[in-house]
Structure 1
């Protein structure tokens, strides 16, 4: 089993992790209570853009995750 490695973060805005061959984006949201981490695993196209361009490539995804969080996997802070 591979270890989850933090690639970059902007506290309380986003966290980008690499685990094996996958890159996962985590966006913390305080509401609904008790707060959640909204999670998304990048597809191959997004992964390539991120590795080439950096976090700029994920700005629209982060915005969507903040607004439409119920469309994503969510982990409660509790």
Structure 2
């Protein structure tokens, strides 16, 4: 059911998709990776969380960000 819902949501946009979750949520990370997402680097994670989310520093430290195949990391 989760895969069907995620697949449907992906069809609703032509923009890259970013997903944030807790680093300790192994089941969530495995689910998104199984469905074509990949973990971004720690540096990119921090930049993304500060840009697109409003979360405290502690949550940034304990979270991960996954992206779909359309995501292009910002070149520094």
Q: Is TM (by shorter chain) over 0.5?
A: no
TM-score bracket, normalised by the shorter chain, equals: 0.3 to 0.5
**Structure with higher strand content:** 1
Ranked by relative contact order (alpha carbons within 8 Å, sequence separation 6 or more), the top structure is 2
TM-score of the two chains, using structure 1 as the length reference? 0.33
TM-score of the two chains, using structure 2 as the length reference? 0.33
